[in-house]
Amino acid sequence: GAGVSQSPSNKVTEKGKDVELRCDPISGHTALYWYRQSLGQGLEFLIYFQGNSAPDKSGLPSDRFSAERTGGSVSTLTIQRTQQEDSAVYLCASRTLATGTGELFFGEGSRLTVL
């Protein structure tokens, strides 16, 4: 696609429910990142996928968070048993391996509100 697409743009859920957030990166981009941004705060790295390599999961805050990337394209971030502190904007970004300049192209984010 023309840009990084994320869905849903907004999600309101009850505490304890599971949520899935989807990211569709730019076609041909091999690297995909998930970040979390709480209100008024900076970006917090969650997880990174690069081609067929094992993902870098070092930023996931707890085992309630997981992500997968199927077929080297679309990625899903899953949060199980959501807590109120999970409320944030979840941003996905992708970039191509070929450029070497490292520019990240971001989606518009998925705003999660846990009641």
Binding site for another protein (CB under 8 A): 4, 31, 33, 35, 40-43, 45, 48, 50, 91, 93, 99-104, 106-109
Q: Which is nearer to another protein, 14 or 54 (CB)?
A: 54
- At position 46, the amino acid (one-letter code) is L
Cα separation, 41 vs 66, whole angstroms: 22
Cα separation, 85 vs 76, whole angstroms: 20
Q: Which is nearer to another protein, 20 or 108 (CB)?
A: 108
CB of 70 to another protein, least distance (A): 21
Q: Which is nearer to another protein, 84 or 101 (CB)?
A: 101
Q: What backbone torsions phi and psi does residue 102 show, to the nearest 5 degrees? A: 75, 15
